[in-house]
Amino acid sequence: MREIKVYHLYPGHLNLYGDRGNMLALCRRAEWHGINLKIIPVEPGNKINFSDCDLLFMGGGQDSDQKLVAEDLKGRSRDMKKAVEEGMVVFAVCGSYQLLGHYYTTGQGVKINGLEVIDLYTKAGQGRLIGNAVIECSLWDPPHTLVGFENHAGKTFLGPDLQPLGQVLSGFGNNGIDKTEGAVYKNVIGTYLHGALLPKNPRLTDCLLQNALTYKNQDDTLQELDDSLEQQAHSAAIKLAGLHRSK
């Protein structure tokens, strides 16, 4: 049986707005696709062998949790960056997404150094960017919509060579200014979308699984599943965001 090793980074600290549901969606769809998903929870102080990881999942957290995580990972950023360059799959949400960049400046002016895995930086804004969000995601041709819920004070700005995960159709996205949301670099996907994101976006869930299989040179063929319930949830989220189309 095909197997994917998923490192769940700091599940006790990074679990805002239903992010744990992303792990449940990964597990269930992997099971339906005949893939054995081996979940390895990683807590602060635990050793991390990034060369043994196929898919790294990092959820959202408060500023205090983000600072703790940053300090714990500080000495391992080189190994993490090496694994990313080799194709390790990373899915990072909100605070963890911010952490992948150069730095995050809090509302109190405290600068938290990031892991510098991808080219972005974040600074706190005056108010929070909150609400249901819909983006047009260009991971596929033709593009498809992704739906989720965002709640962040940080405004993230991408470097010139970093591609966004998608363009905002409804909501705020990275910063409420340039209509971008999230970032993609090699097999790294960062996003502000919670909700949890993956249960309402099965195409993205399968993308992560497929990329992890490809990374470990396993058969990445996935069977077609009945996603009618997931699509109903997806369509309902689009309507909540004030839109009326779904792809």
pLDDT value of position 64: 66
217 by DSSP, 3-state: which? Answer: coil
Q: Is the pLDDT of residue 12 over 80?
A: no
Q: Which residues constitute the domain of residue 107?
A: 2-124+154-165+180-223
Residue 3's nearest CA partner among 198, 207, 209 is 209
Question: If pLDDT is split at 50, 70 and 90, which confidence band does 6 have?
Answer: very high
Rounded to a whole number of angstroms, the distance between the first and last alpha carbons of the chain is 32
| 211 Cβ neighbours under 8 A, 6+ residues apart | 55, 89, 187, 220
Entry pTM: 0.94
pLDDT digit string, tens, across residues 93-117? 998 899 999 998 888 888 888 899 9
Residue 146's nearest CA partner among 96, 89, 195 is 195
| 144 counts as catalytic | no
Determine, yes or no, domain membership for 200: yes
pLDDT value of position 245: 55
Determine, yes or no, domain membership for 35: yes
What is the tally of structural domains in the chain?
1
Determine, yes or no, domain membership for 174: no
Catalytic residue among 13, 33, 194, 234: 194
pLDDT digit string, tens, across residues 64-101? 666 777 777 888 889 999 999 999 999 999 988 999 99
pLDDT digit string, tens, across residues 147-205? 999 999 999 999 998 999 999 999 999 999 999 999 999 999 999 998 889 999 999 99
Residue type, 85: E
Catalytic residue among 53, 94, 137, 207: 94
Determine, yes or no, domain membership for 170: no
Determine, yes or no, domain membership for 19: yes
- State the Cα–Cα distance between residues 160 and 151, nearest whole angstrom: 25
Residue type, 145: T
Cβ neighbour number for residue 47 with a 10 Å cutoff: 6
Determine, yes or no, domain membership for 61: yes
**Residue 30 sits in a domain of what CATH number?**
3.40.50.880
Determine, yes or no, domain membership for 247: no
| 199 token code pair | 């249960």
pLDDT digit string, tens, across residues 22-64? 999 999 999 999 999 999 999 888 888 999 999 999 887 666 6
165 by DSSP, 3-state: which? Answer: coil
Determine, yes or no, domain membership for 201: yes
Question: If pLDDT is split at 50, 70 and 90, which confidence band does 244 have?
Answer: low
| 194 counts as catalytic | yes
